[in-house]
Chain A
Amino acid sequence: MKGIQVKALCAIVAGVAIGIGASGQASAETPKHGGILKYVVPDEPPSFDGHIETTFALIHPVRPFYSVLIKVNPENPSSTTDFVCDVCVGKVPEATDGGKLYTFKIRDDVKFHSGEKMTAQDVLATYQKIIFPPAGEPSARKAFFSMVESVTAPDDHTVVFKLKYPSGAFIPALAVPFNWIYQKAKLDKDIHWYETHIDGSGAFIFEKREAGAYISGKRDPDYYIKGRPYLDGFQAIFAKKESLRVQAIRGDRAAIEFRGFPPKSRDDLVAALGDKITVEESDWNCVLIMTVNHKKKPWDDVRARRALTLAVDRWGGSKYLSRIAIVKTVGGIVFPGSPLAATKEELQQLAGYWPDLKKSRTEARRLLKEAGVDLSKTYYLNNRAVDQPYKIVGTWLLDQWKQVGLKFDQHVFPTGPFYAQLRKKKDYDVSMDFNCQSVVNPLVDVSKFISDDRAGNNYGSYQDREVDALFDKMNRTADPAEQRKYMREMEKLTLDTHANAFITLWWYRIIPHRSYVKGWKISPSHYLNQSLDNVWLDQ
C-alpha cells in the first residue's frame, strides 16, 4: 500500500513537473492546426445569455462562440493587470480627461456568424444592456460598472465610456469574459433573444446542441484573427458526475475539464496515465457563500445570523475538506493573496474565524437562545446538485450547524431549479451561493455584498447602506492604503457586525489534462481564457 502511495506521489511530482515544463515549452512549440477538442463540462447552462448568467456551465460550452471588447491576456492569464484588445484595435486605451474617459476603436473586420458586420453600435447596445438594463431586466454585472456615467458610439468605429470618477476597477470590469458582444438589431427586437439563441463573432460557429449531452462548435473560417483558431472544432460534453469526467479523461474520450478536480482525482489520473497527463494548479478566485434569507424569520435577527457563522470551524474545515474537495483557503470577502485581502490575524478578529472554536460555538449557542431561535425546527438549506464542492460543503455545513443545535435539511436541485429557488422563489432559510469572479478585481468583486437593490447578484434580500457607503468610498479612492482600510470595514460589517452573508472556504484549482492539449494556460478563474482560439492539439 505504502509502495503504491510512493509511486503515486512520484507520478504526481513528475506530472506537475511535466506540466510546468510543458507550459514553459508551449510558447516555443509551433501550433498544429486541426482536430476536435473534446472536453467535459460538469453542468448545463441555465440560459445562453452571458449578461445575466454567472456560471461556468455557460462559459465553458458557449464562450468560444463570442468575442468581447477586451480580455485578459491569454498568454498571461494569471496577471491582474495584463489586458489586451479583442474586438478593439491596438492596445487597450489609456484614460483621458483626468482618468474619466476611455475611447475604444472597433475593428472593422469582425462579423457575426449570421453574416452581419459588427460595428460600434453593437458594442454600445451590449454595454447598455449590461450597465443600464431596462427596468426589471436582470444584469449580473451591473454593479461592476457603478463608476460609468455614460456609454456612447459617436460613429460606427468608436465607443466612448465616460466615468463619473476615475476608477482602477473599470478596465478589469470591461475584461470580464461574460461581456459578450451581441447584435444591436437582435437586442432591439427582443432583449431576451440571446437567452435561447446563440449568434456570436467568436472563433467558433455554433453547430449543435443535444440537450443533456453536448454542445458542439466548428471553426469560423472568417474569424478576424488570421490563422486562428487552430482547432477544427470542439465538443463540450456534459457530465454531471465527477467520476464520469475523470473516467472520460482517463479513457481519452475527453481531453480536459476546465473547471477543476479535487486532489483525489488528480492523483488517480496521474497514477494511471503518468506523463500522458499534465497537471496545472492555481489559487482560485471563487468561493462558496452562505446566503441567508433576511426576509425569513428568525434570520431577520442579526444574532441568529451571527450564530450561523460562529458555528462554522473554517480553520479545521480547510485542513480536512481540502483532502476531498476543491476548497482549501480560509479567507474573507476578498480573494486571498490579493493586497486587499485580510491577513490571518485580521481574519481571526471576525466572527466565525476565531481561533478558539469552543468559545465561538458557545457564543453561537448564547445568541441563538437570546434570539429565541426555535431549535426543534428543521431549517431549509438550498443547494446545487453539483458534487464539487457544493454538496460536500453543504454536508459539512449541516454538521457544523448541528454542533450548536441547529438542524437543517439539505434540498438539492439541478442548476435551473437551484437558481430559481435562490433568485425568485426564496423559500430557503440559507442557500449556497457563490462569488466566482473572472478577473481578480477586489474593488468590484465584493459588489455582491452591497444592497440587493444595487447589486444584481445579491440574493440575500437585504439593504445595508453602511456597506454601500464603504463600497463607494473604496471605489472612489486611488490610495491603496485607504482602499484597504475601507475594505476591512466593509468586511467586518458584512461578515460580523451586521452578519449579512458568510464565506465558507476559497477554492483551489487543479486541472489535470491530456498532455496533447496545448496553448491553454491556467488562471485563477475557471471563467478566463476560454475562447479556445489559442488551443491546439499535439497529435
Chain B
Amino acid sequence: MAVTSAEIDSQLAAARPPLAKAALTLIRQQPLGAVSGLLVIVMILMAVFAQQIAPYDPIANHYEFMQLAPSAKFWLGTDQFGRDILSRIIWGARTALFIGFSCAFIGSFAGLVLGVTSAYFGGWFDLLFQRIMDVFLAFPLIIMGLAVVAIYGTGAQNVIIAITIPLIPRCARVVRSSALAIREIPYVDAARALGFGHMRIILRHMAPNCMAPFLIMLTTFLGQAILLEASLSYLGLGVQEPTPAWGLMLQGGAEEYAESAPWIAIFPGLAITLAVFAFNLFGDSLRDTLDPKLRSR
C-alpha cells in the first residue's frame, strides 16, 4: 500500500509531543536549564520592549528625587542623578544584550570558520594558525579587552571589538578539535572526490557538523561578553554616561553610595549576576542536551 508524503507528515506530527508536553519534559529533565532559559527570554523581552516597559526615561535626571530608596513610585529607587534605577536596568538589558549578542555571534562565527578552516587544511597552515591563536589565548579575556580599549578608545563600538577579538581564538580552538575528527570521515573525502571547492566543503559540509560545540561556545560567550562589558564599563572603559548599562551603573554609585544608598549598587549588580548565571546555565543545559555522551547518562 502506497503512502503519500502528506500522510507521513501528518503521522509524524501526531507522534510529536505537544509543545506544552515538550516543555514539561524539558523542565523535568533540565530544570535549571528551563529556569535559565526563562530568564534569558525575560531579558530579551526587556531589551526589545524597553521603551514600552520602562516606567521612566532612563537618562532623564530628576534632581528633586535624588537617591530615593525603593518605593511605590520608584520600585528600585533612584540614583545620584534622580534617575529611575528600574528603568535604567530595563534599558541596560538592551545595552548588555546588544553588546553580548554582537560579540558572541561575531566571535563565535569567526571562530567557527577559522577553526574549521584550520582543521581542514592542516599541515603548516594549521600549525602556524594555531600558534597565532596561542598568542591570543595567552592573554586573559579582560587584559585583552583592556588592551583593545586602550588602543581604540571607549564607546559601544570599541567595546564590541575589544570583547570580540579575544573570543575568536577560544571558539576556533574548540571547533578545530571537532573539525579534525570530521575531516577524517569519508563524506569529506567524497566531497573532495566530487570536485567541490574548499569553501563549499568547509562551509556546507564540515561547519554544520560542528554545531554542537559551536552552540555551546556561543551561549557561554554571551555570558562572558555581558560580564566583560560590565567589567569594562565598571572600570570606566566601556560605554559612557548617560547610557544605561549595568556595569556603568555600578561604577557610578556602587562605591560612593554603598552605605547611604545601597540600592544604587545592589540592583544593577543583581542584574549582571542573573544575566551571567542564566546564560552560563543555559549553555550547560544545551551541552547536556546536545552531547550524546552526556545525554545517555
Q: B residues within 8 A CB of A241?
A: 255
Complex: chain A residue closest to B64, CB-CB: A320
Is B25 an interface position by the 8 A CB rule? no
Q: Are A399 and B153 in contact (CB under 8 A)?
A: no
Within the assembled complex, what's the spacing in Å between the Cα atoms of A103 and B240? 53
Nearest chain B residue, comparing its CB with the CB of A321: B63
B59 touches A413 (CB 8 A): no
Nearest B residue (CB) for A381: B240
| Interfacial residues of chain A within 285-323, with CB under 8 A of chain B in the complex | 316, 319-320, 323
User: Are A412 and B240 CB-contacts (below 8 A) given A242-B256, A243-B255?
Assistant: yes
Does B208 count as interface, using CB distance less than 8 angstroms? no
Known contacts A323-B66, A410-B240; A402 and B59 CB within 8 A of each other: yes
Whether A259 is near chain B, meaning CB under 8 Å from some CB there, is no
Q: Is the CB of A395 within 8 A of B242?
A: yes
Which among B60, B66, B154, B256 is the interface contact of A320 at CB below 8 angstroms?
Answer: B66
A121 adjacent to chain B (CB < 8 Å): no
Number of interface residues of B (CB under 8 A): 21
How many Å lie between the Cα of A508 and that of B15 in the bound state? 76
Q: How far is the CB of B195 from chain A (nearest CB, A)?
A: 52
| Chain A 372-428 residues near chain B, CB threshold 8 A | 385, 387, 391-392, 394-396, 398-399, 402, 409-413, 417
Once A324-B66, A324-B80 are accepted as A-B contacts, the answer to whether A399 and B256 lie under 8 Å apart by CB is no
A264 touching B241 in the complex, CB below 8 Å, given contacts A316-B63, A385-B236, A413-B153? no
Within 8 Å by CB of A264, from B60, B154, B257, lies B257
Interface pair A411/B241, CB less than 8 Å apart: no
Q: Is A139 an interface residue (CB 8 A)?
A: no
Residues of A within 8 A of B59 (CB): 398-399, 402
Contact of A534 with B by CB under 8 A = no
CB distance from B82 to the nearest CB of A (A): 8
A222 CB-CB contact with B under 8 Å: no
Chain A residue with the shortest CB-CB distance to B240: A410
Q: Is A264's CB under 8 angstroms from B256's CB?
A: yes
Which residues 74-95 of B sit at the A interface, judged by CB distance below 8 A?
80-82
Q: CB distance B256 to A398 under 8 Å?
A: no
Please give, as numbers and ranges, the residues of chain B lying within 8 Å of A412 by CB-CB distance: 154, 236, 240
| Chain A stretch 238-296: residues in CB contact (< 8 A) with chain B | 241-244, 264-265, 268
Determine how close the nearest CB of chain A comes to the CB of B58; give it in whole angstroms. 12
Q: Looking at the complex, which one of A268, A398, A411 makes contact with B242 (CB distance below 8 Å)?
A: A398
Chain B residues with Cβ under 8 A from A411's Cβ? 153-155, 240
Which A residues are CB-close (under 8 A) to B80? 324, 392
CB of B256 within 8 A of CB of A243, answer: yes
In the bound complex, CA of A316 to CA of B60 (Å):
15
Tell me whether chain A's interface is mostly helix, strand or loop, or mixed: helix
**Contact: A320 with B155, CB < 8 Å?**
no
List of A residues within 8 angstroms of B82 by Cβ: 320
Give Cα A395 to B59, complex, Å. 10
Find the B residue at minimum CB distance from A394: B241
B259 at the interface (CB under 8 A from A): yes
Q: Of residues 226 to 245 in B, which have CB atoms within 8 Å of A's CB atoms?
A: 236, 240-242
User: Separation in Å of the B63 CB from the closest CB of chain A?
Assistant: 4
- Docked pose: A16 CA to B47 CA in angstroms: 48
Q: How far is the CA of A309 from the CA of B32 in the complex (A)?
A: 55
Determine the distance from Cα of A95 to Cα of B275 in the docked complex, in whole angstroms: 71
CB nearest to A414 among chain B residues: B236
Residues of A close to B257: CB separation below 8 A? 264
CB distance from B92 to the nearest CB of A (A): 16
Are A399 and B255 within 8 A (Cβ)?
Answer: no
Q: Which residues of B contact A391 (CB under 8 A)?
A: 241
Q: How far is the CB of A90 from chain B (nearest CB, A)?
A: 48
Q: Name the B residues within 8 Å of A385 (CB-CB).
A: 236
Residue of A nearest to B259 (CB): A268
Asked if B255 and A396 sit within 8 Å, CB to CB, the answer is no
Partner of B63, one of A244, A265, A320, A392: A320
- Tell me the smallest distance from the CB of A264 to a CB of chain B, in Å: 7
Tell me the chain B residues, 160-214 only, with Cβ under 8 Å from chain A. none
Interfacial chain B residues near A396, Cβ < 8 Å: 61, 81
Beta-carbon nearest neighbor of A247 in chain B: B255
Beyond the given A319-B63, A324-B81, A413-B153, please list 14 additional residue pairs across the A-B interface where CB-CB is below 8 A: A242-B255, A243-B255, A264-B257, A323-B66, A324-B66, A324-B80, A385-B236, A387-B256, A391-B241, A395-B81, A399-B61, A411-B240, A412-B154, A413-B154
Interface residues of B (CB under 8 A from A): 59-61, 63, 66, 80-82, 153-155, 236, 240-242, 255-260
Some 5 contacts from A to B, beta carbons below 8 A apart, are A320-B63, A395-B81, A399-B61, A409-B155, A410-B241
User: Top 4 A-B pairs ranked by shortest CB distance?
Assistant: A243-B255, A320-B63, A399-B61, A395-B241
